[in-house]
Amino acid sequence: MTRAAFILAVLALTGCGADGPPITPSINTTVSVGSEGMRTSTGVTVQTGPVTVGAQF
């Protein structure tokens, strides 16, 4: 969880626009329920121009 918090903090700071136009991150959360129980998945995507960077936890 610490690694996820660090990545989210870095993405938030890069989105502030201090050195150029702001970058808006996109966050996705999925919750699924099945015979094995409940699972959650969270993903973060940042796009600037033709470059997209994403991470899924």
Tokens 């936890």 locate to: 57
DSSP summary character for residue 10: H
User: Which pLDDT score, from 0 to 100, does residue 16 have?
Assistant: 58
Residue 5 has pLDDT above 90, yes or no: no
7-51 pLDDT per residue, tens? 777 666 665 556 666 677 888 999 999 998 999 999 988 887 778
Q: CA–CA separation, 12 vs 34, rounded Å?
A: 33
Q: CA–CA separation, 40 vs 4, rounded Å?
A: 14
pLDDT greater at residue 4 or residue 39: 39
Helical segments of the chain, H only: 2-14
Contacts of 43 (CB under 8 A, 6+ apart): 27, 28, 29, 54, 55, 56, 57
